Chain A
C-alpha cells in the first residue's frame, strides 16, 4: 500500500536540463481552487469585510432592475386586462374609386357584431352608434307645458344586445335589451348611471318611462359602470332596431369588441374580413399594440439613479476587494515565501490570489443577488404586486461579482508574485 505512494513520487531525474524542464512545478486546477477556498475560509471575518461592497453593489443592481421589471410587469398587466383586449371597428374612409355612399365613407352592416362574434378569440361584440335626435330632447316626463321645460341634454345611443358585455359594463338595476327587443323595434331604453341620475330614475321595478321627443320608452335597466366607452354612462341606449325605425338610423358606426387576453392582434387582423368580406379595406380596425412594445416603454422608466448607485457601489466594492486583498498579500508574505520554497512559481502565487478574489467576488455576487431578489419580493408583497425577475440576472450576478473580484485581484496578485522568497521567509510567521 505504501509502496504505491512511493511509486507516485518521481525517482530522481537524470541530470540533464531537458529533464528538468519536464519537471517544472505545476498545480492541478482543483487544488488551486481548493487552496483558494481554504485560504478564504480560514479568515471568515475578513471575507465579510472584503465582499461587503460587492454585496451592496450587486444587491442594489438586482433590486433596481427587479423592481423596474416588476413595476413594468404590473402596469402592463393592468393595461392588458382592460385595453389589450379591446378592438374597435369603424368604417374606413373609402379608397378613391371604390363604390361608396354619398358621405364618402363605407357602411358597416347591421350584423357586424354577430359576424365579428363568430371569430375565435372574441369574448363579446356589440355595435355602438350615436343617434342624431335633431331638435328632440330627452325628458323624464312628457312635456305638457313647453315653457316650463324639464329637458336634458342627454345623448341617445343605439346599441346591439352585445354592447354592454363588449364594453365590460355592469347593470345597477334591471336588464339590458336583448335580440327580441331589437328585432321587434320595442320602445325600450337602458340608461347610463349619470343619465339616470339626471332623469331622476333609480329603479325600474315601477316601470318608469322616458321621452325622446314626444315618444315614450320604457326604461328596463340602468348601467352602473363600464370599463370602456365611458360615454355610455351619460347616454340613453336604445336597440338598433328601434333606432332604425324611429330615427331612420342607416348603419352602425362602431363595433366594440372584447377579445380574450392575447387574442386582440389576431382578432384585429381578421375582423375586417369577417365584417366586409368583399371590401375589407372599408373597415378600419383599432387593435392595441403588441404587448412587447408596451413593456419596453415601461422598462425605460427604471430609475436611473438607482442603477448609477448600484454601479458606484460595485466600483467601491471592487476597490474594497483590491484593498483587502493587497492587505492580505502583505500579511501573508511568509506564506508566500513558504509556498515558493515548496516549489510554487510566481504565477502559482498570482493564480492563488486571483482565484481567491474571484471566488470572494462570486460569493459577494451570489449574496448580493439573493438580497436583491428578497428586496424585490418584499416590495412586491408590500404592494400586492406579482414579482417579475429575469432569470438571466440570477446567473449574471455571481458572474459579474467574479469578474469584479478577478479585476480587483489583478494588482494584488501581481504584487504577490513579485515577492522574493528570501524576503518573504525572513518575516516570521
Chain B
C-alpha cells in the first residue's frame, strides 16, 4: 500500500474561500460548584487555525487539564462559545458530542492508555470503532498509520513488549487513524526518557509539516518550545507565552 498521501487532508473544502478555524473558544469559563467555587478556566479566548501547532503550557493546577477536557469535548464550559470546525458544540447533547469526539479529536495521553492484552494493531484499530467503520477499512488504515509512525514491524506485539517511546507512538497512530481535525496531546512526553521524548516530538514535527493541527498541553518548556505557537495558562487565564 502506498503511503505518499498526506496523513491529513486539507482541513477545508477547496471551494470554501476562508478556512474555518479548527477551534474557536470565545470567553469560555468553567467553574466547579463547591465552597468556595473553583474557577478553573476564566474567560479564555483561543483560536487554533488549520495546520497550526500550538502548545499550551502551565504548571499543575493552572487549569490546563480543564482546558484540555473542554477542547476534547470531555467537559462542557459553564459559559462561553466553543466552535469546533465552525460548529457550536457547547449546546450539543451527549450522544452528538461522543460522535464529534470520536471523529474530530485524536487524543494522546501521558500514560498512553493502550489496552493491555490486545496487540498493537488491535489498539490502533479501536480508532473508528465507534464510527461503525468496517473492520477491513479500520485494519487497512491502522496498518498505514503504524507505518507512518515507524512501527510496521510491531503490529502483532503486545504493548507490554514495547518501550515507552514505542507505546506513545502506538497511541499517536491510534489518534491519527481516525483522521482527526485536531490532535490533542496531554503531557505526551511525561512518562518518557529524554531520547524517547525527542523521538515523539520529532514525530509531531513531521505530522505538523504534513498539515496536521496539533495542540500539546504540557508543563514542560522543553516540549512547548517545539511548537509553532505557544500560549501560557495560569490561574485559568490564557496569555501569549
Contacts and interface: CB of A to CB of B under 8 A. Distances in A.
Interface of A: 1-3, 5-6, 8-13, 15-17, 19-21, 23-28, 30-31, 34-35, 38, 42-43, 334-335, 337-346, 348, 421-422, 425, 428-429
B178 A339 contact: no
A229 to B, nearest CB: 74
B179 interface: yes
B230 interface: no
Contacts of B130: 25-27, 339, 342-345, 348
Given A23-B99, A24-B95, A24-B99, A2 B5 contact: yes
B5 A25 contact: no
A6 B130 CA distance: 17
Interface in B102-122: 102-105, 107, 109-118, 122
Interface size class of B (residues with CB under 8 A): 35 or more
B140 A5 contact: yes
B74 A425 contact: yes
Which of A6, A24, A339 counts the most B-chain CB atoms under 10 A from its CB?
A: A24
A16 B88 CA distance: 8
B179 A9 contact: yes
Contact of B113 (A3, A5, A338, A345): A338
Contacts of A345: 94-95, 98, 130
B111 A428 contact: yes
Given A9-B178, A17-B92, A339 B5 contact: no
A28 B134 contact: yes
Contacts of B129: 27, 31, 35, 342, 344
Interface string B62-100: 000000010010110000000101111000101110111
B11 interface: yes
Contacts of A343: 98-99, 101-103, 130-131
Contact of B135 (A6, A11, A16, A31): A31
Contacts of B133: 8-9
A5 B95 contact: no
A34 B103 contact: no
A31 B5 CA distance: 28
Contact of A12 (B11, B117, B126, B174): B11
B222 interface: no
B233 to A, nearest CB: 17
Contacts of B98: 24-25, 340, 343-345
B137 A422 contact: no
B128 interface: yes
Contacts, number: 149
A2 B132 contact: no
A21 B96 contact: yes
A94 B83 CA distance: 103
A1 B2 contact: yes
Given A10-B103, A425-B113, A428-B110, 11 more contacts: A2-B144, A11-B9, A12-B11, A12-B181, A24-B95, A25-B98, A342-B174, A345-B94, A346-B94, A422-B74, A429-B111
A340 to B, nearest CB: 7
Nearest to A335: B115
Contacts of A3: 5
Interface string B49-63: 000000000000000
Contacts of A421: 74
A42 B117 contact: yes
B101 A20 contact: no
Contacts of A339: 126, 130
Nearest to A44: B117
Contacts of B179: 6, 9
Interface string B10-29: 01110000001000000000
B1 A2 contact: yes
Contact of B101 (A6, A12, A341, A348): A341
Contacts of A335: 113, 115
Contacts of B174: 342
B219 interface: no
B71 to A, nearest CB: 12
B135 A27 contact: no
A401 B103 CA distance: 37
A43 B117 contact: yes
Nearest to A42: B117
A215 B236 CA distance: 130
Interface in B138-167: 140-141, 144
A5 B144 contact: yes
24 contacts: A3-B5, A6-B5, A9-B178, A16-B87, A20-B96, A23-B100, A24-B96, A25-B131, A31-B129, A31-B132, A43-B117, A337-B113, A338-B126, A339-B126, A340-B98, A342-B127, A342-B174, A343-B130, A425-B113, A428-B111, A429-B111, A429-B114, A429-B115, A429-B116
